[in-house]
Amino acid sequence: MSYDESHLSARRRPLSRLTLTLAAAAVVPGAFAGWLIWQATGGSDDGGPAGLPAQGASASASADPSQRPGSSGPEPRPSGPESPSKPASGDDAAPGDARPAPGDGPLAGRTVVIDPGHNPGNFKHTAEINKLVDIGTNRKECDTTGTSGNSGYTEAEFTADVSQRLRTLLRKEGATVKLTHENDRAWGPCVDERAEIGNKAGADAVISIHADGSAAGNRGFHVILPALVKSGGADTSKIVAPSRDLGERIAGNFVRTTGSAPSNYLGGGTGLDVRDDLGGLNLSTVPKVFIECGNMRDTKDIALLTSADWRQKAAQGMADGISSFLNR
């Protein structure tokens, strides 16, 4: 399972292309230019047929990555660093970070929280991450192990790498950037704590980075938006609209920088999916989205996810979308 929680009972609310196109034209005409061109030309010629996502592929994965299901063919190992060195905490500069002087840059004074999906230690702490926490609407697991490619490259490795690349890019724009974790803890944090980190930071934008674990042939990225939820401790009424704006800008720029097509199995070709079952969104009081960058179980998508060059493009697309949202 690639999300921070199980989606076995998720309600899908696919958006029409017409609705999204009109919204894009009104809100972010520049960001969606690449997307509209892709749709006008009939889409990617290497996208697989639409299908249903595999359910529970990683939520019930063994603590040992080598015991996960194999594949029918070889899979590339990641290029570039697979396990990024642990950077400094908070907004202290990490090795290689280049930032403008305080107060400089178009994002000066803005705070962005990046949530790297899952923790590589979750596999060794299944009892802890299976503990139920309150997500407002009900109680769900603290977290999941995340998914992996068929050759063992884990979602947690991928998200840590992309998150650090994204932080560097946003810092260069002058933003204050915080990560929910930096592989500096044995497991977690739980999904409710991840949401609270963004809330306490008073973040102007939060992005939770993931990769999917669906069936082979299911390809492409999708951005998950919060649904309108008012239940228990959850009230997303104030963040639904700005989160949609943030998600649309990230999706459009992700297409432009990576060349990847929107998901062929979720979102009706829009690259957007609305959900009401994710605690990380339900409990957020600041604009927040999830992004599933690709399917780790598809041979073509995993070839992208394991490429350092592509991961840099992915981070750039996210940074451009966030910058566009914060400078709107």
Catalytic residue among 157, 173, 248, 292: 292
What type of residue sits at position 318? M
- Is residue 292 annotated as part of the catalytic site, yes or no? yes
Query: What's the Cα-to-Cα distance from 300 to each of 47, 146, 259, 295, 304, rounded to whole Å?
Result: 9, 20, 13, 9, 7
User: Measuring CA to CA, which residue among 61, 68, 62, 53 is closest to residue 8?
Assistant: 53
- Residue 209 tokens, joined: 């980075």
Q: Token pair for residue 121?
A: 């230690």
How many Cβ atoms sit within 10 Å of the Cβ of residue 113?
Answer: 26
Residue 326 makes CB contacts below 8 A (sequence gap 6+) with 107, 110, 112, 175, 204, 205
Count how many residues are written for the chain. 328
What Å distances lie between residue 140 and 131, 132, 292, CA to CA?
8, 5, 20
271-309 per-residue burial string, b: 16 or more CB within 10 A, e: under 16: bbbbbbbbbbbbbbbbbbbbbbbbbbbbbbbbebbbbee
The amino acid at 113 = V
Euclidean distance between the first and the last CA atom of the chain, given in angstroms as a whole number: 34
- Give CA–CA dist 200/318, Å, rounded: 22
Q: List, by residue number, the catalytic residues.
A: 292
